[in-house]
Structure 1
Amino acid sequence: MRKFSLFIIIMTLLVQNVVAQDAHYWTEQYGTKSMLLSNSVVGSVSDLGAVFYNPARLGQIEKPAFVISAKVYQLSNTNFENGAGDDIDLKKSKFGGAPSLVAGTFKIKWLPEHKFAYAFLTRYTSDINFSTRSQVYGDVIESLPGEEYFSGRIELNKKVKEEWMGVSWSKSLSEKLSIGVSTFITAREQSSLIESNLQAYPEDERLEMFTQKNSYSYDQFGLLWKIGLSYQLKRMTAGITVTTPNLRLFGEGDMQYEYFSTAYESNSSVYELDTQDGLEAIHKTPWSVAVGAGFKILKGTFHVSSEYFSAVDRHTIMQSEPFTGQSTGEEKYGQLVNRLNSVFNFGVGYNINVNEKVGAYVSYSTDFSAAIPNSYGIDPREDLVYIGSTFRSDISHFGAGVILDLSWADLTLGATNASAKYAIKRPIDFPNDDASVASVDEQESQIDWSRWRFIVGISVPLFKQMADKLNL
C-alpha cells in the first residue's frame, strides 16, 4: 500500500497547485466601473471603488453614490486533460454568486471640508471541493496474491475567504491635490482537508486498508491601511496608493492528522491519530505600492495602472505541538508555512461615451502568482509540512461592458474573463480495465482554467442627486 500512498500525495499536489487561488492580488475588482476596467483605475477611479483603489479620489469625485455591485454571477471551469491517465480527464465546473462591494458616503457636520465613506468587500475567496476515485478488479497490487478487488478515493477541500470592513477619509489640499486614508478591519478564514481511502480484497480474503487524513483551519482578524494621493488636471488624473501589511489582532486554529493502515502481509499495521486546537495563527501579507493615471482621449478616458507587492519571507502560519504515533512511537508535528515572491501587476482600460446615456468599456490586466516555484501542498522534504499558497499559474483578465445613465440610477451590464493555461507532468495513471497496476507517468497533463463573471451593477445617487436627475 506504500506505493498507493505515494500516488495520493502526488495527486494532491496536482490538485492544490491548479485550483487554489490564494497567491494572487488582482483577482477581484471593486465598483461597477472599476470591474469593467480590470483594476486599471488607481489614478482615475470615478466610483466608490475609490475606498479600495485610492481613497484620495473621494475628495475629487463630484457625485459619490451608494454602490451595490452584488449582482455578479460566476462560472468557473477547470479541466485536467489526461490528468489521471491517457484519455482520462478530470473536470470541475461551478456556477454561483461572486464577491461583491457595498459602499456609501456619509458626512460629519463639524468637518464640512472632509469626505467620508464606508465599505464592505470580499478581498479573497476560494472554495474548492475536488474528488476522484477508482474501482477495478485485477492484479492491481503486485505484493498481494492473485487478483483482488481494489477501490480508492481521494478528496480535497480547500477554502479561503477574507472580508474587509472599513471607513475612508479624504480631503482636498488644493484644487488639484487631495489625500485620503482607508482603514480596514480584516477577517480571514482558511481551511484545508486532504483525505484518501484505499481498500483491497485479495484472493486470500485478508482485507487491506489504508486511510490518511490531514486537515487544518484557522481564523485571523487584523487591521491594515491604504494611504493615497491624487492629482487632477483638466484632461488627466494621477494617483499613488501605499497599502500596509496586515497588523494581526487575533488568530487561532486547529490541525488534525490521521494515518491508519492494516498492512497484514508485512505485519506493520499503523495507527496514528492527533487532533489539536487553540493553536496560534499568524498570516502575513506584503507591502504594496500602486500608481496609475487616466487620460482624456477623444470622447473617452484611457486608464493605466500598476502595482508592486513585496516578497513575504517564509514564516509559520500555524504549528502543532509534537505528538507520538500510537503504534509507531515516532514523534511528529504539523506545520502550515507560507512564503511569497514579489509581484508586479499592470492593467489598461478604455471607456468611451457613445452618447449622453451610454458608455462603453474594455480592459485587460495581469494577475501574476506570488507562489514560490516548485512549492507544493506537501513539502516533500519535510514530514507534515503544508504550504499556504500554492497556485503558481499566472492569470490574464479581460473586461467589457456598457453603463446606461438612467433617470434614477446608473445601470452596469458587462462581463469579465480570467484564464490560465499551462502544462505539468502527469502524476498518476489510475488502474483501469486495461491496466493491471497503477503507475507513475512521465507524460504531461494540460491544465485549462477559466472564470466568467456576468455583471449587473447599480449605482444609486444620494437623495439630493437623485432629485436632480429626476428634475424634482
Structure 2
Amino acid sequence: MARIYLLLVCSLYSVCTLAQDTHYWNSQYGPGGFLTPGAVIAATGDSGVYYYNPALLAGERISGISVNAVLYQTQLIHIKDGAGKGLGLKSRSNASVPNMLAGGRYLKPLKLSIVWALIHTPGIRYVASQRRDDKFQVLEEEYSPGTEFFVGQFVEENRASETRAQLATGFKLGERWSAGLTVGANVYAQRYSQDYVGRAFVNPGVVNFDLVTADASYVVDYRHYGLKFRPGVAYDNGAHHLGLTVNLPLLHLGGNGTLVSDNLVQNLVLTTPDSPLGFMANTRQEKLPVRWKTPFSIAAGYLVELSGKQLYVSAEYFGRVREYNIITPRDEYFIRPDTGTSNLFTRDLLRLKDARKGVTNVSVGMSFPVQAKMTGYVSARTDFSFYDAALFKDDSGIPPYTAMWNNFHLQFGANRWVKKSNIRAGVVLSYGMNNKYRQAVNYDNPTEQNLLQGDMADVGRARHIMAGVLLCYTHH
C-alpha cells in the first residue's frame, strides 16, 4: 500500500511547476544595464556613485547620493494552451518599484572612497488560473457509462524578490591598473503555491459512489540570508578601458520557511470498480531550514571612446549549480491512513529543489552626445534561462520555476546635467519566448489513470512582454 501512496502522490506533483526565477540579468542594474548610473565594469563615464565593478572607485573622489526607480512597469505572461487546447494561462502585473539607493563618501585620510547601496530586485510576479467545467468522457465506461460532468481548476502563484545591502571600495595598483571589492548582505524571499482540483460525477446505476475526486495543494513561503563578495580589477589605456569582476558563490547565513500541503483522492478506480482508492495527505511544517544558492560568475567588459561616443560590450558567465534542496521537510506524518512507514516518504515528496545549468549573457551599448549637457544611451542584452529539467535526477520534489524562457532586453534614454545633479530617464522593453513550454495541467484528456490532471506535453507557447519607465536622480 505504501508503494501505491508513493506512486499517487508523485503523480499529483509531477505537474511541471511554472518562475528571480530562472534568470540572472532580469534587473536593470548589472553589467548589461545603462540607465542605472554605474552599471558598468570597464569605465566610469556616466556620472554614477556606485559601480558594478568596485575597481572603478579607485581614484574617484565620490561624494553624492543616487536614487533609481522603476516609475511604472507593466508585464504580461501568456502561456498558450498551458492547461489544454484553448485554455491559456495569463498573468498581468503593474508596479512602481524602487530599484537602487546608493551613496558615497571620500575619506581624505585614507585617500579612498567608500560607497554603499541598497538594491531591490523584484524577480517575478506571476498569478494565473484556469478552469474547465464541461460534460465529456472522463471515467471508464465499465462503471460510469456515458459522458460525465467534470470540473477541473488550476491556480498558481509565484512571487520572488531579492534585496541587497552592499559596501564597496577601490584602490590603485599602478598608473593603469586598479582593484576593488564589494561585500554585500543578501535577502532572497519567495512565495510559491500551486492548487489543483479535479472532480467528475459518476453516472448512476453501476457503483454505489457518485463522485471521483483528485485534489492537490502545495504552498511554500521562505526567506534566505546570505553574504556575497565581488572582487574586481580594471585597466585603462587612453581611449581603451577593460574591466573584470568575479562573483563568488553566496555564503549561507540562515533562513527559514513554512510548507503547507493538502491532497485528497476519493473513489479513484485504478483496477476494478469494487475497490476504488481513497486517501488523504496533509501537513503543515514551519521553521524549516532554508538553503538558497547562487553560482560563481565572471563578468568582463570593454569600452572604447570614439569622437565623443562610447561603445561598450560586456559578458557574464554563470556556472552550473548541481541539484540540492532549498527546503527539506521533516519526515512527519503526511499520507493518511498511516501504514507505519508512509511518513518516510514525506521528505522526498515535498522537498523544494533547485538545479541550474551554466549560462552566458552578453550586452552591447553606446552613449553619444545629444546636446550640451545631455547624453543619450542605448543598450541591448540577453537574459537566458538557467532551467534544464535534465539536471534533476528524478521527478520527486518541486522546482519552483515559472519563467522557463529566454528574455531579451532593450533600453534607451538620456542623461542631463543640471548644476550639481544628474537626471537620467529611459525606457526598458523586454520580450521572452519558449515554443515548447511544458503544460502545467491538461484538461483535454483527464482520466483516472492520470489522476484527472490529463497527460501533460511540451505544446505550450510561452510569451513574456514587459515595458517600464526608469528614472534616476544623482546629487553630487
Cα distance in 2 for partners of 1:93, 1:180 equals 41
User: Hey, what does 1:186 align to over in structure 2?
Assistant: 186
What is the CA distance between 1:255 and its match in structure 2?
2.3
**How does 1:363-442 map onto structure 2 within 5 Å?**
363-374=379-390, 381-383=394-396, 385-388=397-400, 391-407=403-419, 409-424=421-436, 427=439, 430=443, 440=455
Question: CA separation of 1:250/1:40 partners in 2, compared to 1, >3 Å: closer, same or farther?
Answer: closer
What is the CA distance between 1:139 and its match in structure 2?
4.3
What is the CA distance between 1:411 and its match in structure 2?
1.9
Selected match of 2:290 from 273, 281, 303 = 281
User: Hey, what does 1:153 align to over in structure 2?
Assistant: 153
Is contact 2:244–2:299 with CA below 8 Å preserved after alignment? Answer: yes
Is contact 1:166–1:185 with CA below 8 Å preserved after alignment? Answer: yes
Is contact 1:41–1:304 with CA below 8 Å preserved after alignment? Answer: no
Cα distance in 2 for partners of 1:184, 1:460 equals 23
Q: Please, which runs of 5 or more residues in structure 2 have no aligned partner? A: 446-451
Cα distance in 2 for partners of 1:410, 1:115 equals 20
Secondary structure, in 3 states, of the residue corresponding to 1:57? helix
What is the CA distance between 1:305 and its match in structure 2?
1.1
Is contact 1:371–1:390 with CA below 8 Å preserved after alignment? Answer: no
Is contact 1:52–1:182 with CA below 8 Å preserved after alignment? Answer: no
Cα distance in 2 for partners of 1:226, 1:441 equals 42
Whether 1:243 and 2:247 are equivalent positions in the alignment is yes
User: Hey, what does 1:464 align to over in structure 2?
Assistant: none
Cα distance in 1 for partners of 2:174, 2:318 equals 30
Is contact 1:117–1:169 with CA below 8 Å preserved after alignment? Answer: yes
- AA partner of residue 299 (structure 1): G
- AA partner of residue 155 (structure 2): E
Whether 1:303 and 2:312 are equivalent positions in the alignment is yes
- AA partner of residue 413 (structure 1): A
Whether 1:122 and 2:109 are equivalent positions in the alignment is no
What is the CA distance between 1:49 and its match in structure 2?
6.3
What TM-score, normalized to structure 2? 0.83
User: Hey, what does 1:469 align to over in structure 2?
Assistant: none
Whether 1:346 and 2:362 are equivalent positions in the alignment is yes
Is contact 1:301–1:350 with CA below 8 Å preserved after alignment? Answer: yes
- Across the aligned residues of Structure 1 and Structure 2, the Cα RMSD in angstroms comes to 3.3
**How does 1:71-470 map onto structure 2 within 5 Å?**
71-98=70-97, 100-108=99-107, 110-111=109-110, 113-123=111-121, 125-142=123-140, 144-204=144-204, 206-263=210-267, 266-324=275-333, 325-327=335-337, 329=339, 330-331=342-343, 332-333=345-346, 334-374=350-390, 381-383=394-396, 385-388=397-400, 391-407=403-419, 409-424=421-436, 427=439, 430=443, 440=455, 444-461=459-476
Question: CA separation of 1:242/1:115 partners in 2, compared to 1, >3 Å: closer, same or farther?
Answer: same
Secondary structure, in 3 states, of the residue corresponding to 2:277? coil
Question: CA separation of 1:240/1:8 partners in 2, compared to 1, >3 Å: closer, same or farther?
Answer: same
Is contact 2:367–2:375 with CA below 8 Å preserved after alignment? Answer: yes
What is the CA distance between 1:352 and its match in structure 2?
0.3
Cα distance in 1 for partners of 2:203, 2:259 equals 38
**C-alpha deviations, 1:93-116, integer Å up to 9, x for none?**
2211245011011244532x1101
Cα distance in 1 for partners of 2:11, 2:328 equals 26
Question: CA separation of 1:52/1:202 partners in 2, compared to 1, >3 Å: closer, same or farther?
Answer: farther
Cα distance in 2 for partners of 1:382, 1:30 equals 35
Cα distance in 2 for partners of 1:55, 1:361 equals 22
Cα distance in 1 for partners of 2:42, 2:229 equals 18
Whether 1:27 and 2:26 are equivalent positions in the alignment is yes
What is the CA distance between 1:443 and its match in structure 2?
7.9
Q: Which moved more, 1:311-320 or 1:141-150?
A: 141-150
Question: CA separation of 1:429/1:257 partners in 2, compared to 1, >3 Å: closer, same or farther?
Answer: closer
Secondary structure, in 3 states, of the residue corresponding to 1:41? coil
**C-alpha deviations, 1:194-250, integer Å up to 9, x for none?**
111233344448344332112223221111111112222332222111111111111
- AA partner of residue 403 (structure 1): N
Is contact 1:51–1:182 with CA below 8 Å preserved after alignment? Answer: no
Q: Which moved more, 1:277-286 or 1:421-430?
A: 421-430
What is the CA distance between 1:118 and its match in structure 2?
0.7
Cα distance in 1 for partners of 2:120, 2:73 equals 14
Secondary structure, in 3 states, of the residue corresponding to 1:223? strand
- AA partner of residue 129 (structure 2): S
Secondary structure, in 3 states, of the residue corresponding to 1:78? strand
Matched residue count: 446
Is contact 2:70–2:98 with CA below 8 Å preserved after alignment? Answer: no
Question: CA separation of 1:282/1:240 partners in 2, compared to 1, >3 Å: closer, same or farther?
Answer: same
Give % identity: 22
- AA partner of residue 460 (structure 1): H
Question: CA separation of 1:85/1:223 partners in 2, compared to 1, >3 Å: closer, same or farther?
Answer: closer
Cα distance in 2 for partners of 1:86, 1:24 equals 28
Cα distance in 2 for partners of 1:161, 1:226 equals 20
Cα distance in 2 for partners of 1:116, 1:51 equals 10
- AA partner of residue 286 (structure 1): P
What is the CA distance between 1:69 and its match in structure 2?
0.8
Secondary structure, in 3 states, of the residue corresponding to 2:238? coil
